[in-house]
Amino acid sequence: VGVLPSYASIGIAVAPTDGLDLDQLLRNADLALYGAKSDGRRTYRFFEAGMDARAKARRSLELELRQAIVDGSFELHYQPLVDIAANRISGFESLLRWRHPQKGMISPAEFIPVAEDIGLIVALGEWVLREACAEAMKWPADVKVAVNLSPVQFRSRNLVQAVISALAHSGLPARRLELEITETLLLEKSSQVLATLHALRALGVRMSMDDFGTGYSSLSYLRSFPFDKIKIDQSFVRDLGANPDAQAIVRSIVSLGVGLGVTITAEGVETEAELSCLRAEGCHEGQGFLFSRARPNAEVISLLKAQRVATALVA
Ligand code: C2E
Ligand code: MG
Ligand code: MG
């Protein structure tokens, strides 16, 4: 496995335990291969009982996902990004939701990896871009919208065109759109990825590094591309106040941001104690259940109205 190229996966079935004829052995080796692939490829798996049931469940999820695109069962919800010093909403992150006819709301953490595996994320991602830009046009002109991008969308080659077309169709100015990517995208150090990132930034959209601190957190990523924003992963925010190490990490990311002229956003802010700690460290933006969960767009507009009334009362 040490020498397996990144695209190779191996499934193994052994006679006589996994089958007595060629057909059955091949079928079970294939199921084991499927398991190896879903373990992130470049690995091997032996056949195990239960793989069949898991493969069936997975196949039905794939079919349901394809159907959901046709049926329009996806929704975007929006979670506020709050300017900590000004105490006001500066934008919203769009978060994908799947309203399954039987199972109810399904989390993106569950279906996005599957949509990536079967390539459906490209069409789904284009829908998200169009929808988020169009909805943001209903908000005040100084409120931004953030859209998450999957690394798979960068392999499709027409990502830049999809962004241009979402902006053109909605009429949203590019500076109001933020695109969030994660460190995994930069792992490969691919020149095509960097070229796409630069092409996107040249459109005038803002680029954010999401979940910072969870991957390799290599500082070379920050030198390889001029990000406009770094989002500190919620695992560091969760411990703030109680854990001096987490506080030291947040402090250094904030000073890094100040030095590089990059906005620093803390994800997953749940308590007042976390917020006051972030404020003391000079963190620019916060996002989390303390402010609001992701809400449907109808509620976004009332959230913004309520905020305007509140600021008018304070003034
Ligand atoms: P993310 O981009 O890091 O989004 C933040 C996630 O943290 C969201 O989960 C949000 O609901 C959750 N969150 C926000 N505040 C808090 C908090 O105070 N406490 C806790 N415990 N959680 C909080 P969600 O909506 O389940 O999304 C999960 C991930 O799925 C996202 O992580 C993002 O990577 C991905 N995702 C969501 N929508 C899209 C999309 O349209 N396209 C792509 N490619 N990925 C998406
Ligand atoms: Mg995000
Ligand atoms: Mg995040």
Q: Which of 77, 81, 95 has most ligand 1 atoms within 8 Å of its beta carbon, as the pocket-test mutant?
A: 95
What predicted TM-score, i.e. pTM, was given to this entire model? 0.89
Q: Is 112 in the pocket of ligand 1 (CB under 6 A)?
A: yes
C-alpha–C-alpha distance, residues 142 and 173, integer Å: 10
Does the structure show a pLDDT above 60 at 1? no
* pLDDT tens sequence across 251-304: 999 999 999 999 999 999 999 999 999 999 999 999 999 999 999 999 999 889
pLDDT at 6: 65
41-61 pLDDT, tens digit per residue, is 778 999 998 888 888 888 889
Q: Kindly report, residue by residue over 92-103, the tens digit of the pLDDT.
A: 999 999 999 889
**Which pLDDT band, with edges at 50, 70 and 90, does 4 fall under?**
low
Q: Is 205 in the pocket of ligand 1 (CB under 6 A)?
A: no
**Neighbouring residues of the ion ligand 2, judged by CB less than 5 Å:** 148, 180, 210
CB distance 38 to 58 below 8 Å: yes
pLDDT for the residue 311: 65
Nearest CA to ligand 1 atom 41: 96
Residue partners of 214: CB distance under 8 A and separation at least 6:
183, 233, 235
